[in-house]
Structures are given as structure tokens and as C-alpha cells.
Structure 1
Amino acid sequence: MAFDLPPPAPGSSPLPPAPPVSRRVRPSVMLVIVVGAVAWIAGLTGAIFGGQLSDWLDRPPTRGSDEPLRVGEARDAGAARLDVAAVADYVAPTVVTISADVSGGTSLGTGLIISSKGEILTNAHVIENASEIRVRLAGESEPRRVNLIAADRGNDLALLRMSGDGYESAIFADPESVRIGDEVIAIGFALGLDGEPSVTLGIVSALDRTIGQGNVYLDGLIQTDAAISSGNSGGPLVNAAGEVVGINTAVARDTLTTSATNVSFAISTTEALPIIEALRAQADGVEREEAYFGVGLADRTDGGQGVVVSSVEEDTPAANAGVVAGDLIVAVDGAATDGSAGLIAAIRDHNAGDPVTITIVREGDPIDMTVTLTSRPGQ
């Protein structure tokens, strides 16, 4: 099975000027990240970056707000049968279409309003390298300009903000309430089609999935069989209570040797909520330093546990701790490591300066090493 970040849904010509702020918001377009063996969109490195767009007359805010995110209470949200029409109507005012001007055209995706002060969450790949970003709200015919506050490319999330306040905002589900088998719906503008957003029904197929390719590794993902298409990325995956359980991000693609049917992935609220706060902090001048280990990795082909160290860079945390090529890394902080994607995600979840315990196997003997991570060179 292959995973990749497909190109954005094709867009249209430049959009007209933004209208005055209104309180209603219209559902949005989302881009699908196909997760797998093909290529991820170039430049997804995991670092948080800040962005400021063109100098507009009605300039949106350039910082995140301090408004608390809305999170539902822990409860059995999957017990009730999901009323698709009712939930879609309830969530629709918080979903927006995103149109980003990029080299050679327009990238279309979906976003989610997460605060009354106009903050919008989407996938980083939707707005990557955009010179200008606009959103269209539910019930509106004209788009409005937004600013990029910050983005975390490695976690594939970005925070935007539009002018005004009083917007309806989404409610996030308590992370502990999500269960395998829960009914969910994915909302977004599949293929960038005009009109209302598409709504697809599915279930939570699995939790805590990890996918990766190149420099991008996503962990803690929700797997669902709700259909997701290009143009849907950044849209919400919603439970029976109308609460957001994840941000639709990727789909599995068929390859020459494997087939994938209705295998989609969403960034869970467990992962998304702290990233949102980190993006808000970055916009206020506090930038996260990405943790760095300093090894090359190769996945095992015999189905065994662990990841093989193929190379070790000089003067890095790994080299200083005594890691050598040929070592087999089997755990990080006591948690088993089954592949390079999981190991890289585990390192990425730490900050520069954090100590971690790496368990390796060398010539059949297990060895625990304490490694102090540093920031990535050049960051």
C-alpha cells in the first residue's frame, strides 16, 4: 500500500476582493493527502514557520488569539446513531473553503473555524508556498482574505485568521471519547466542486496509526473508511454529537502490488490540540525548535521489531551517545519501535534539549542509551 501527498485540487482564476465580515460561515474544500509509497509534497520538513501575506487594505490579524478552544466533555459519543443530515447542518457554519494562490495556479482545500475571533485550522499542505490565501464562508458568495499565522509542516497543520469576530466555532471531541467502531462523517469540498460541501459516512476503523514518507511522518492518526478525495484536506471528521474528532489529512492509494479501498486518515484531537497552541505561541514570537537525533534509518524486511541504523552523522546526539551504524533501535522511552516512521515521529514529538532513552540491540545484547536531543542544524 502506498502513501503520498497528492497535488491540490485544481483551482480557478484569481478571486475578487473580500466582502465585509459576517457571522455565518460556509463549509470548505479540503485537500487529500494520500499517504504512502509515492511522494509527499516537497518541503514538508516538520518545522513550524510563520507567514505574513500581502499588504492588504483590510488586513486580517497576524497573531493567534488567546481564546480557549472548545472541547466537549468525555462521554460515550458513539452510543447514539449518527444523524448525518442533522450533524452536517450543525457543523456546516464552521467549515470554510480555502483558496490559495500558488505558483502555476490555485490550491483548494477545506478549513475549520476554531474560535469566535476568526482563527481557521487547515492542513499545511493546502496553503504551502501560497502568495495569497482566501476563504469562503457558509452562506457567502464572495471570498475574504486571511493571514497565515503559522504552520507546522511536519504535523501538516496550519493556523489562519480572518478579520472580525463573533464567528461560530467548532467543538472538539474529548480525545478519550473516540472509539473504534464509532460512526463519523467527513466534511469537505471534494475535488473543489462548486456548491455545498460533500459529506461521507464511515466509522473509526483504527486509532493511533502512523504513516510517513520522506521527511514527513504523522502519528496518532485516526483511520476511517469515510471516503476522502482531493479537495477535502483540512476538513473535519465529526462524531454523532457534531464534535470534531480529527482533521482529514490523507488517504491510502493503490499501488502495483497492493490495493486500498476507503482507507483514510485524520489527525486526531490528541495531536491537534497541542499543535494549535504551539502555532498560536509561534505567532506571538515563540518558535518551536524541532528535535534532532542525527541518524539514517532503514526498515527491516524480515518483519522483526526495530529499525536499523544505516548511518550516523558526526557530532550529533546519536554520535555523542555512542550509536553506530548497524545498531537496531527497538524502543524510545520504553515504547516499542516498529518502523522508521514511528521512530521519527517519536523523536519529532520532543523538543530540542529533551533527554530520551533509546534502547538498541547490538550483537544480540540490549543497551539503553540516554540521548539529549538538539535542534536541527540550520534551524
Structure 2
Amino acid sequence: MVLKMKGMPMWAVIALSLLGGVGGGYAAVAMQSREGKSGATCVDNEIIRRAAVPAGARAANAGALPYFVDAAAKASPAVVHVRVVGVVERESPYRGTLLEFFFGAQPNVQQQVQLSGSGALISPDGYIVTNFHVVKNARAIEVSLPDKRNFEAKTVASDPATDLALLKVQSPRPLPYIEFGKSDSLRVGEWVLAIGNPFNLETTVTAGIVSATARNINTQSGKVSIESLIQVDAAVNMGNSGGPLVDLDGRLVGINTAIASPTGAFAGYAFSIPESIVTKFVEDVRKYGEVRHVVLGVNIMNMNSQLAEEFANGDTRGVIVGGVYANGPADRAGIRVYDIILSVNGRRVNTVTELQGEISRLTPGDTADVVVFRSGREERVRVQF
């Protein structure tokens, strides 16, 4: 799926599932066997083990470079390869032809396709988190573990607004699973690993840093969506969709979902759904059997210097309310036009995306403490959703 980014005319935001027609093939990767002459070299696992960094060397290097081996070893067994057989609707090849002129409009054609993505096992009883766009329109789903076991998977729940889906497999014995970290604690510049199956290269690990947080890249322009994404520069490509972003303790802090690229291949900008949104999605499904979202009921804008001078004594913190929907949660709580929202439940919000991220944590029935700047002073209001 290729979508244009606002303000970036030559770039595209690309959902990272790998698509190919049945009977066709996936995107080719230039590799040969170890007897071939390609620059890609096959290395035995035993050689890799012998080349591992000794404990003493790791300790001596602790203050210089990050050590990724333990995090990769801890998380990788729980990263699955998701293969989907689905159906997509294509425009009729006879559209606008003489056939339509004589016989009327021709129906669209349904075409069977294969999709390849990634997923993360999050429990020993077989629950898997992946992207909604990976399993959308799936007729059959198969997942493969790094230990070569294969399972048929069923979709338990999906949520287009967050681009998340929960799958379930049945196994006679407990499965490896990944622990959850805390995306709220991530800081710009922190090291992270992306694990997945780009171009069908199974269990590929790449490293990078957190480039930014609370990004909105409009992957679902024109649709209701919740985006407060983690931007990273770890290499992510087609087939990484649904795979985990992990911290250096091997804990899940995000689910990789998209890249920004002028070519369709990784160009240094990848985006992950933060753990906070993933956790809320999973907890909602387990508790209610579905995902439950709330809305604050306001139109909001980012602050700028002009608005700050007029409404906030020159302070550019927060987001300004441009409109309030009648009888919505904000209206019932007494939030007014030109209020400046500074925090939700003690967490500061300085952009529209940050506010959306905080509201996305909430469920119908929750109450939130919201601090607003109004008429020269801060006020606290309680919003019931």
C-alpha cells in the first residue's frame, strides 16, 4: 500500500507487508548458495557462535558501544513469519472498453494474492500481535516460528484505526513469547532493534536509534486513525510489518508498521506503533472482546507564536482548542474554545499528535484529569468518557 505524505510530495508512506500474486513470487533478493559467486556469504551457526563476543570483552566495551546480542537472542524466538492468502478487488480490465459500451458496466475482478509479514508472540498460549494491513481480507493465515514449527492462525480481533490485529494459534506446548517494555520511557537517541522477515529473510535483526516520538504520518488519510508513532532509523523493509521493535532488554516497545521512502525501500525513516497503544488494544480485546475507543470531542491546533501571544502570554506549550462538539466529553467537562490543553493525566502534551496518543490510552467509562490554560491561569477539569 503506497500513500502520499502531506508536505512530502516525492515521498511515500509504505505499509510494510510483502505482496505477490499466487503462482508468482515475492520480491527477489540477489543471493546465491555458498558455492555461488555472489557477494552474499552463507555462514554456519557454529562459526557465528565461535565469533561471539566473550563476556570479558563485552564488559570492557560497555562504556563504548551498545551490546545487542542478548536482546536479539531473547526476543527473536518469539518473532513469527506471517503468510497470508487473501483476496483483493481489482478494477475490471474491461472498464471503458467497447464491451462495456455494448453490455454495460462490468464487475470488478477478485484476485487471490499472497502477503508476507511478521508478528510477535505475546503469550505462551499462542496470541500474536501483528498489523491489520497484513491480515486484511485474509482467507488463510499461516505463521512460522524460528524453530521451523508452522501453525494455522485465526484472527481474534483487528482495529484499522490503530493498524493492529490479534491472531491466535493452537500449540500442544507453551510457545516462546516476548515481554512488554514501556514505550513511554523511550528517549530520542536510545538504541532499539527491529526484528522481522524483510523480503522473506526470516528473523532479521537490525539496529538503530529512536529518531522521534509522537509522529503522525497520515497512513490512513481520510479515515479515522490513531497515530502517535515512534520514528526510528533501524533498517525496516517490506515484510517487516507487524514485527516488534525492542529495547536493549529484549522487550517489546513497538510494532513496526510503515516507512517513509521516495523509492519504496528503506531510506532511514521507519515508524512503529508504541507499546502503550498495543497494550491498550490487547487489554481491550481480552476484557471486552473488541477494541473500544473514546473521543475528546474537540477540534484542536498546534500552538504557534502568534496564537501564543494572543491567548497564552507568549507561552507556546500545549495545544489550542478551536472548536467543541456539543454534548461531547469535553463539552460536558466545561472545556471551551481557546482553552489551551497542557496535560492529560499528568502527562504533558505539546502537539496534536501527543494529545491523540494520550486519549488513545482511554476506554469508555474512564475519567481523565486535564489541565488547561484559560484567561491567564491554569485550571484542572475532569473529563468523563
Q: Does 1:291 align with 2:301?
A: no
Q: 1:281 to 1:326 in 2, by over 3 A?
A: same
- Kindly provide the CA deviation profile for residues 311-368 of structure 1, in whole angstroms up to 9, marking residues without a partner as x: 3222222223333444333333343321221112222212222232333344545443
1:97 matched to 2:82? The reply is: yes
Aligned residues: 301
1:330 aligns with 2:342: yes
Letter in 1 for 2:143: V
The one-letter amino acid of 2:331's match is A
1:202-247 per-residue CA deviation (whole Å, 9 max, x = no partner) reads 23455x544363532344x554321112321111234555444432
Which residue does 2:110 correspond to in 1?
none
Q: Which of these residues, 317, 329, 342, is aligned with residue 354 of structure 2? A: 342
Q: Deviation of residue 197 (structure 1)?
A: 4.2
Structure richer in helix, relative to its length: 2
Q: Of the candidates 104, 114, 119, which is equivalent to residue 127 of structure 2?
A: 119
Gaps spanning 5+ residues in structure 1: where? 16-28, 30-75, 374-379
From 205, 212, 216, the counterpart of 1:211: 216
Distance 1:368 1:5, change over 3 A: farther
Within-5 A mapping of 1:227-376:
227-240=235-248, 242-253=250-261, 262-283=268-289, 287-302=290-305, 304-362=316-374, 364-373=376-385
The structure number with the bigger radius of gyration is: 2
Q: 1:212 to 1:336 in 2, by over 3 A?
A: farther
Q: Is the 8 A contact 2:83 2:114 kept in 1?
A: no
In the alignment, the residues of structure 1 paired with residue 211 and residue 76 of structure 2 have an alpha-carbon distance, to the nearest angstrom, of: 22
For residue 83 of structure 2, give the secondary structure of its aligned residue in structure 1. Answer: strand
CA–CA distance in structure 2, aligned partners of residues 248 and 96 of structure 1 = 14
CA distance in 2, matches of 1:349, 1:85: 31
Evaluate the alpha carbon distance shift between residue 330 and residue 170 of structure 1 in structure 2; reply closer, same or farther with a 3 A threshold.
same
State percent identity of aligned pairs.
Answer: 31
Unaligned runs of 5+ in 2: 1-6, 28-58, 90-112, 309-315
Instruction: Give the whole-Å Cα distance in 1 for the aligned partners of 2:287 and 2:114.
Output: 29
* Distance 1:93-1:311 versus aligned 2 partners, 3 A rule: closer
How far 1:140 moved relative to its partner?
4.6
Q: Find the residue that maps to 2:119 and give its secondary structure.
A: strand
Q: Which amino acid aligns with 1:101?
A: G
1:64-117 residue CA offsets vs partner (Å, 9 max, x unmatched)? xxxxxxxxxxxx9x8885355993697146422232514244443211223332
Letter in 2 for 1:248: N
Q: Answer yes or no: is the 8 Å Cα contact 1:91–1:170 preserved in 2.
A: no
On the 8 A contact 1:111/1:235 being kept in 2, the answer is yes
User: Aligned to 1:217, what secondary structure does the other structure show?
Assistant: coil
Seen in structure 2, the aligned counterparts of structure 1 residues 331 and 157 have a Cα distance that, compared at 3 Å, is same
CA contact under 8 A between 2:134 and 2:241: conserved in structure 1?
Answer: yes
Whichever residue aligns with residue 164 of structure 2, its letter is L
- CA contact 2:15–2:241 (8 Å) conserved in 1: no
- Measured in 1, the distance between the counterparts of 2:200 and 2:16 equals 19
Tell me the distance in 1 between the aligned counterparts of 2:324 and 2:368: 17
Residue deviations 1:11-48 (CA, integer Å, cap 9, x gap): 33189xxxxxxxxxxxxx9xxxxxxxxxxxxxxxxxxx
| CA-based RMSD | 4.0
1:185–1:239 contact (8 Å) kept in structure 2: yes
Contact 1:10 1:106 survives alignment (8 Å): yes
Residue matched to 2:171: 164
